[in-house]
Amino acid sequence: MTNEGVLRKVSFSRKILSVVAGLAAVVAPCLYGQAQVRVGNQSGNEPSKLPEFEVATIKPADPKVGIANALLTRPGGRITAMGCTLQYLVMEAFDVKDFQISGGPSWIHSTGYDIEAKAPEISSSSKSNPVNPKNPPNEEERRMLQSLLMDRFQLKSHRESKEGPVYILMKGNNALKLKSPQDEDAFPWVGGESGPLSGSGFRGTNISMAQLSARLSGFLHRPVLDQTGIQGSYDFEYQTGNNDPDADFLSLVITSINEIGLKLKSAKGPVEAIVIDHVEIPSAN
């Protein structure tokens, strides 16, 4: 499918709703498709033992609090989730995007849960000290989340992979407009000029190309593979000079990427998915 074939007018107000849900998500630190994680309880295979949290509490989120899909990593291997749906917890546990999850009842998209969990003292995660609580869970913590979902939500799932449409992120024809980060400890971030994506422009802070690819994947609902060959993290900014709420979403992203010296190319490639075979409302603490 060509870029021209997929360009279409969409209401930015509708698009922003899906983007805002992803703003609380942490940026995956690895290239899409490279995270090797095991999906629990696959048919016909006895799963290997996964690490577990030493203690974990789960309770329905209070809708009056107004926090949705926020997962924080804290020193000592502690995880705090606020208003997280099961769909979002699966995204974090298996390091995938929302469009890579299928199956399950409707409540997995709407019912939020609060979780407090702590890794055991003997785990390597107990010695972790994230610079920013928005940093994603490490690999051990992701596997502990998998254990928690399998135990308390009775999650059974399997992974599928098939060829489908993807984007390749690569160097473009324009000069690179990537700057060394002003703050090397800043949370890696990509979005609009002043928050969610809008017609005013596109901005990145302390972001690597692998992280940018992962974030673009969430924006475009299609895998984005990093083939730039660019190492390190960067700041960048592109201003359109207008703030049209009905601007063409895909066109804005592609134009912004081109303006900073990169390019998105349509291609075919592996598209992986987590299929939920069975899940239950979590057991009481």
Q: Which of 110, 103, 112 is nearest to 156 (CA)?
A: 103
Residues 255, 117, single domain; the answer is: no
Same domain, 167 and 244: yes
16 and 64 housed in the same domain? no
Query: How high is the pLDDT of residue 18?
Result: 40
Tell me what pLDDT residue 175 has.
93
176 and 267 share a domain? Answer: yes
Q: Which of 128, 159, 190 is the last residue of a domain?
A: 159
Is the same domain home to 153 and 169? no
Q: Which of 97, 126, 159 is the last residue of a domain?
A: 159
The answer as to whether 141 is a domain residue is yes
* Closest to 37 measured CA to CA, from 121, 116, 150: 150
Please state the domain count of the chain. 2
Closest C-alpha among 72, 80, 68 to residue 112: 68
Q: What pLDDT score does 249 carry?
A: 72
Residue/partner pairs of 1-8 with CB below 8 Å, 24 or more apart = 1/165, 1/266, 2/266, 3/250, 3/254, 3/264, 3/266, 6/250, 6/266, 7/248, 7/250, 7/251, 8/248, 8/250
Distance CA(247)–CA(256), nearest Å, equals: 13
Q: Is residue 217 part of a domain?
A: yes
Among the three residues 103, 132, 159, which one is the final residue of a domain in this structure? 159
- Report yes or no on 76 lying in a domain: yes
Q: Is the same domain home to 147 and 184?
A: no
CA-wise closest residue to 197 among 179, 178, 219: 219
Show the CA angle centred on residue 2, arms to residues 191 and 266, nearest 5°. 55
Residue 185, token pair as written in the block = 């400890």
Comparing CA positions, the residue from 209, 199, 133 lying closest to residue 171 is: 209
Task: Extract the tokens encoding 226.
Answer: 């990093």
Q: In this structure, what token pair is assigned to residue 223?
A: 């895998």
Contacts of 99 by beta carbon, 8 Å cutoff, 6+ apart:
221, 222
pLDDT at position 195 is 52
> CA-to-CA distance for 269 and 107, rounded, in angstroms?
31
pLDDT of residue 38: 38
**Residue 214, SS3?**
helix
CB contact set of 51 (below 8 Å; sequence gap of 6+): 119, 123, 140, 143, 144, 147
Q: Which domain holds residue 59?
A: 55-159
Per-residue pLDDT tens listing for the chain (285 residues):
443 343 333 333 333 334 333 433 333 333 333 333 334 444 444 457 899 999 999 999 998 998 999 999 999 999 999 999 999 999 999 999 999 999 999 999 999 999 999 999 999 999 999 888 989 999 999 999 999 999 999 999 999 999 999 999 999 998 999 999 999 988 898 886 555 566 567 889 999 999 999 999 988 999 999 999 999 999 999 887 666 666 677 788 888 899 999 999 999 999 999 999 999 999 777
Q: Is 280 inside any structural domain?
A: no
Q: Is residue 15 part of a domain?
A: yes
Joined tokens for residue 216: 């673009």
Q: What is the pTM of this model?
A: 0.77
* 233 falls within a domain: yes
Residue labelled with tokens 């785990």: 123
Asked whether residue 103 falls in the same domain as residue 85, the answer is: yes
Half-sphere exposure of 101 (CA within 13 A, CB side): 25
- Indicate if 21 and 77 belong to the same structural domain: no
Q: Nearest to residue 188, comparing CAs of 5, 21, 4, 27? A: 27
